[in-house]
Chains A and B, each alone.
Chain A
Amino acid sequence: MTCPNLETIAAWTLDELDEGASNAFEEHYFGCDTCVEQAERMRRLVSELEATVPAVLTQARKKRLEATQPRPMSVPVRPGETATIRLGGDAPLGFWVMHAPLATAKRVDFEARDASGTPLFAIQDVPFDAERGEVVLACQVHYRNLPGIQSMHVSLTATDAEGARSVGEYVLEHQFESP
Chain B
Amino acid sequence: MAAALALPVLPTPGMPLELSDAELAALVASRESRAEAALFARFAKRVELYGRKHLGSQPAADDLVQQVMLIVLEAVRAGKVEDPSKLASFVLGTCRNVTWDLRRAVGRQQRYEREVASDEAAVSPPSMSERDVLRLRNCMGGLPEREMLVVRMTFLEDQTAEEVGARLGLSAGNVRVIRHRALAKLGSCLNAKEAS
**Residues of A with Cβ closer than 8 Å to B?**
5-16, 26-27, 29-31, 36, 38-43, 45-46, 48-54, 58, 60-61, 64-65, 67-70, 92-93, 125, 127, 142
Q: A30-B91, A52-B126 are in contact. Are A41 and B191 (CB under 8 A)?
A: yes
Q: Are B53 and A52 in contact (CB under 8 A)?
A: no
Within 8 A of A (CB), among B149-192: 149, 151-152, 155-158, 167, 176, 179-181, 183-184, 186-188, 190-191
Chain B residue contacts of A93, Cβ below 8 A: 125-126
How far does the alpha carbon of A65 sit from the alpha carbon of B120 in the complex, in Å? Answer: 11
Q: Are A30 and B184 in contact (CB under 8 A)?
A: no
Question: Nearest Cβ in chain B — how far from A43, in angstroms?
Answer: 6
Q: Are B183 and A42 in contact (CB under 8 A)?
A: yes
User: How many A-B contacts at CB < 8 Å in the complex?
Assistant: 116
- Measured CB to CB, the nearest residue on chain A to B126 is A51
**Residues of B with Cβ closer than 8 Å to A?**
21, 43, 45-46, 49-50, 52-53, 88-89, 91-92, 120-128, 130, 132-133, 136, 149, 151-152, 155-158, 167, 176, 179-181, 183-184, 186-188, 190-191
Q: Is the interface of A mostly helix, strand, loop or mixed?
A: helix
- B49, B124, B180: which contacts A7 (Cβ < 8 A)? B180
Q: Are B186 and A45 in contact (CB under 8 A)?
A: yes
Question: Nearest Cβ in chain A — how far from B95, in angstroms?
Answer: 8
- Measured CB to CB, the nearest residue on chain A to B45 is A36
Given contacts A14-B180, A54-B152, 17 further A-B contacts (CB under 8 A): A8-B180, A12-B53, A13-B53, A13-B183, A15-B53, A42-B187, A46-B155, A49-B136, A49-B156, A51-B126, A65-B126, A67-B120, A67-B122, A67-B123, A68-B123, A125-B167, A127-B157
Q: A13-B53, A51-B128 are in contact. Are A36 and B46 (CB under 8 A)?
A: yes
Q: Which 8 A-B pairs have the closest CB atoms?
A: A6-B184, A54-B156, A10-B183, A49-B155, A68-B125, A31-B88, A30-B88, A142-B130
Q: Are B180 and A30 in contact (CB under 8 A)?
A: no
Q: Are A52 and B128 in contact (CB under 8 A)?
A: yes
Chain A residue contacts of B186, Cβ below 8 A: 45
Q: Are B136 and A30 in contact (CB under 8 A)?
A: no
- B52, B133, B136, B176: which contacts A16 (Cβ < 8 A)? B176
Chain A residue contacts of B191, Cβ below 8 A: 41
- B21, B122, B157, B187: which contacts A45 (Cβ < 8 A)? B187
Chain A residue contacts of B130, Cβ below 8 A: 142
Q: Are B125 and A10 in contact (CB under 8 A)?
A: no
Between A and B, 5 residue pairs with Cβ closer than 8 Å are A10-B180, A30-B43, A46-B155, A64-B123, A125-B167
Question: Nearest Cβ in chain A — how far from B47, in angstroms?
Answer: 9
Chain B residue contacts of A68, Cβ below 8 A: 122-126
How far does the alpha carbon of A39 sit from the alpha carbon of B98 in the complex, in Å? Answer: 21
Chain B residue contacts of A16, Cβ below 8 A: 176, 180
Question: Nearest Cβ in chain B — how far from A20, in angstroms?
Answer: 15
Question: Nearest Cβ in chain A — how far from B105, in angstroms?
Answer: 20
Q: Are B133 and A30 in contact (CB under 8 A)?
A: no
- B21, B49, B179: which contacts A10 (Cβ < 8 A)? B179
Q: Are B49 and A39 in contact (CB under 8 A)?
A: yes
Chain B residue contacts of A31, Cβ below 8 A: 21, 88-89
- B125, B157, B188: which contacts A92 (Cβ < 8 A)? B125
Question: Nearest Cβ in chain A — how far from B36, in angstroms?
Answer: 18
Chain B residue contacts of A10, Cβ below 8 A: 179-180, 183-184, 187
Q: A16-B180, A42-B183 are in contact. Are A67 and B121 (CB under 8 A)?
A: yes
